[in-house]
Every structure is written in C-alpha cells, then in structure tokens.
Amino acid sequence: MDGDTNMILCCGEALIDMIPDADGAYFPHVGGAVLNTAVALGRLGVPTGLITGLSSDPFGAMIAAHMTASDVSTAHVVRSARNTTLAFVHLDQGQATYTFYDEGTATREINPDDIDPVPSDIEAIFFGGISLCNPPVADSLLTLAIAQPERRLVMADPNIRPSFVSDHDGYRARLNALIGRADIIKLSDDDLNWIEPGDASLADKAQAILAKGPKMFLLTEGSEGATAYLQGGRHLHVPATKATVVDTVGAGDTFNAGCLAALRTADALKPEGLATLPEDTLRDMLTLAARTAAITVSRAGANPPWANELV
C-alpha cells in the first residue's frame, strides 16, 4: 500500500479504546476517530495513509499492526517514544462516552516540523477527531490543512468532545478556520448545535456552515438519516439504513469513509465539482455511507466493513 498513488491521507489520532466487558473489566482495542476513518477506507479498497503520532510502546505496535491488516499505510506516521493515548469508553444502552488520557502522548505532542510535506499525488486529505481539540497537535493539523493547495480536496469532521477541550475559545477559532478551508464538512446534529448554538433550525444552521466557505456540508442525525447541503441551495436527504445497534463506536467515522470512497469511485474528489454533483452521485454517496455505518453499529467497537460485505 505504501507505493500507491492517488491516496487519501487521514490526519489525526490513533489511540487505544479501553472498552469494558460485561463484568466491567477493560480491554484494549485499537481506535481513534481518524484511525477508524482510515481503516474503513482501507477496507473499502481505497489507497489510504494516516498522519498520526505512533508510539514505540506495545500499544503503538498494536495500532501499527491494525493499520497494516486493514491496508492503511504507515509511511506517514510520526514515530516517538511517548506513550499512546488511551480512551476509556463508557457505554450506556449502546451509546458511547469517553474519558481521554493524552497529555504528553505520541498523538498530542506533534509539532508542524514533525509532519513531512504532503506528496503531490495525494488526492484528498481528511482531518478530524480529538486531535483538533488541544495544542500542539491541533495547531499543527490546522497549519497543515490551511497549507493544502486549492486543487486538493479537504474534508473535516471535528467529532466534537466539549469535555475534552481545554480552551473553548481557541477551539472554536480553530474550527472556524478549518471550516473556512475545508471543501466538505461533516457534523452530527449534536456537533452542529454546539458550533451554531441557538434556536434556528438544523437546515438554517447548515446554511450558516456553508456561508463560512465549504462547498458541501454533511449532516448526520443518527436514526433520522443524513443530508447533504451544497453551495447554491441544493440538498438531498437519505434515510438511515436499518440496523440492530450493538454500540455506536466508529459509526460517524465509517460514514466519512463511505462518503470519500463513493466520491472517489465517481471520480468526484475534485473541489471545483462538488457544488454541481449530479443527484445520483450524491445519493450514491450518502447511501454507501449509511450502509457502511449501519454495519459498524451492528457489531461491537469500531469494526468497519470490508468491501465484500457490501456486495
């Protein structure tokens, strides 16, 4: 995979989710929102790499092995001897909340100079997750996003965790700068209400996001489905794919991968064409994203489907 061209590069955290079993004992599972998106892309057959901090500790070795097994390139990782970030997962009727331990970790302590220049043949670049929350990695990733040429598609999903943010004003400023550069922004309804507080409708809040610069805004509403809003006033809604929910870990991350994979299949990873995508292309994108997310929520943890599970 390391030699593939036209790769999608994902930028953000790779960590260990400590997930409780039925007796409350915690067991390690490879996770992290951005790693989950990269893994989902790799399993869908998309050439994919990950920019993340990777520790030399045993958990870092687990992460590297997981990436390789899911066809995600490790060529772009930032290696260090710092510890791996841990996220303790708390499940309540399948809904996950998290307690993070990342101070001084391999993912958190990434500075701009640690990140190699993005190769010219990278087709699209994705940003998201808790790596956008706190410096120095948050500032490093924002710098990287803003430095991308206009021809390269930038997608972002902040996957907001307000309790994890150390400086809310700084975080909002970073998010607004990232939204201003991104071609595609994806938010859940909860995320959208955090970024755009107030009593306005979700549709009006979606237009407020588009007014900041993105060409496409993707809104997910859990069992209510997902909507794509485009510059120029077009929008398209697709219902959620029915599933028996085991837990929601990795659902939104897999949705992101489904969108990027579908756009790549349609040769539509081009910023200038997003606002005028045909309706069939939009529907195919949202449908694949919903199908892949439904498979992920139907099984424990972040376990995105392989392409052959969608046939």
- pLDDT band of 130, cuts 50, 70, 90: very high
- SS3 state at 156: strand
- Give the angle subtended at the CA of 224 by the CAs of 219 and 226, to the nearest 5°: 30
Tens of pLDDT, residue by residue over 138-180, are: 999 999 999 999 999 999 999 998 989 999 999 999 999 999 9
- What span, in angstroms and rounded, lies between the C-alpha atoms of 285 and 52? 27
**pLDDT band per the 50, 70, 90 thresholds, residue 2:** very low
Alpha helices in 119-164 (DSSP H): 137-146
Domain residue ranges of the chain, discontinuous segments joined by +: 8-304
Distance CA 2, CA 261 (A): 18
> How far lies 85's CA from each of 31, 115, 161, 168, in Å?
10, 19, 15, 21
Indicate whether 33 pLDDT > 90.
yes
Question: Which residues are paired to 184 by β-bridges?
Answer: 155, 216
Which region among 96-100, 108-112, 303-307 has the lowest average model confidence (pLDDT)?
A: 96-100
For the residues 6-32, what does the mean pLDDT come to?
93
Q: Do you know the residue count of the chain? A: 311
Architecture of the domain whose range is 8-304: 3-Layer(aba) Sandwich (3.40)
Burial of 240 (0-12, 13-18, 19+ CB in 10 A): middle
Q: What is the C-alpha separation between 63 and 49, in angstroms, rounded?
A: 13
Give the Cα separation of 249 and 77 in Å (integer): 23
With bands split at pLDDT 50, 70 and 90, how would you rate the model's confidence at 5? low
DSSP letter assigned to residue 286: H
Tell me the three-class secondary structure of 191-259, residue by residue.
Answer: HHHHHCCCCCCHHHHHHHHHCCCCCEEEEECHHHCEEEEECCCCEEEECCCCCCCCCCCCHHHHHHHHH
| Average pLDDT in the chain | 94
Q: How confident is the model at residue 255 (pLDDT cuts 50, 70, 90)?
A: very high
Q: What are phi and psi of 258, to 5 degrees?
A: -60, -40
> For the residues 2-8, what does the mean pLDDT come to?
69
Residue 249: name the closest of 11, 18, 70, 10 by CA.
18
Confidence of residue 3 (pLDDT cuts 50, 70, 90): very low
The pTM for the full model equals 0.95
**pLDDT tens profile 263-276:** 999 999 999 999 99
Percentage of residues of the chain with pLDDT beyond 70: 98
DSSP 48-104: EEEE-EEESSHHHHHHHHHHHHTTEE-TT-EEESSPPPEEEEEEETTEEEEEEE-TT
pLDDT value for 213: 97
pLDDT at 1 over 60: no
Nearest to 52 by CA among 141, 113, 135: 141
DSSP state of 19: E
Residue, of 88 and 3, whose pLDDT is higher: 88
